[in-house]
Amino acid sequence: MITKLSPIDTAKFVAAKQATSYVQSGMKVGLGTGSTAAWLVQCLGEMVRDQGLRIKGVPTSNRTAELARDAGIEIISLDEAKWLDLTIDGTDEYDSNLSLIKGGGGAHLREKIVATASDKMIVIADASKQVATLGAFPLPVEVLGFGMQTTQNLIAEMLISADVLGHEITQRMQGEAPYVSDEGNFILDLHLKRIGNPRQLSLDLNQIPGVVENGLFIDVCDIVITGHGNGRVELRDIINDTHDTVQFDVQDDGNLFADMAE
């Protein structure tokens, strides 16, 4: 499957590969959105084809659903699943409390619904996603199209007294047109630089009329699996208060897992 990867792709791949060790036949698994989650879908698809893994996946976006179907993973809706054994997803930032900023791919609404309907949420990431304080990555806020300017003004007013450094708000665009989420909503990106109290900010944002959901994930993530370009993987389990390390073999020429190469 893999022949040669850049250090960043190596980090994403080994994180995704390690996360598959939590997946067992018969599980219902939430499938995240983004570049790291795409590696996970590929790894799970290979296990379905080559190892007889039997799972049902609940995708968090239309893009992930297409990837999963192409990989041979059975797809069901969250309503069909009712409850999930685990969700595995990427992140844009995470801190020492395993609080997250998600939504760079515009799917944080579905991602939050799926994650909170799971016994366990595992986040997979490369090392660049770990931060001391959330906020360098713009915080996505999904909003209704109706009265969007009013909603934006209310957010701006709230931010004046919030524990943040930046106050710029931009509407996410796709080319010259506004970005539209899978749920038909728009996204405002809040350029906050530093978020002093993520929990309070999340509560305040979701009280504003017109806000559908924000990209702060508080008390949702249970495990973070962080990959590095040299094949090292760190596992932080906040529930069991453990921190472990796994080393995958990366050859000198940049090839990963010689036994997997075609």
**pLDDT of 260:** 38
Residues 200-258 have pLDDT tens digits of 999 999 999 999 999 999 999 999 999 999 999 999 999 999 999 999 998 654 455 43
Among residues 42, 13, 35, which one has the least CA distance to residue 232?
A: 13
Alpha carbons 144 and 90: distance in angstroms, whole number: 25
Among residues 116, 32, 56, 89, which one has the least CA distance to residue 223?
A: 89
Whether pTM exceeds 0.85: yes
> In the chain, which residues have pLDDT < 70?
1-3, 251-262
At position 196, the amino acid (one-letter code) is: G
Q: Which of 93, 111, 213, 234 is catalytic?
A: 111
Residues 85-96 have pLDDT tens digits of 999 999 999 999
**pLDDT of 4:** 82
Characterise 82 by phi-psi region: left (phi > 0), alpha (psi -120 to 50), beta (else): left
Contact between 239 and 222 under an 8 Å Cβ cutoff? The reply is yes
**pLDDT of 89:** 98
**pLDDT of 252:** 54
**pLDDT of 250:** 80
Inter-CA distances, 33 with 37, 45, 176, 192, 229, Å: 5, 15, 23, 23, 21
Q: Give all domains of the chain, ordered by start, each with its CATH number.
A: 7-129+219-247 (3.40.50.1360), 139-214 (3.30.70.260)
Alpha carbons 104 and 108: distance in angstroms, whole number: 8
CA-based Rg of the chain, rounded to a whole angstrom? 19
**pLDDT of 3:** 59
Write out the two tokens for 252: 């000198």
Write out the two tokens for 180: 């539209």
111 in catalytic set = yes
Query: DSSP for 123-189?
Result: EEEEGGGB-SSTTSSPEEEEE-STTHHHHHHHHHHHHHTSSBS--EEEE-EETTEE---TTS-EEEE
Contact between 248 and 127 under an 8 Å Cβ cutoff? The reply is no
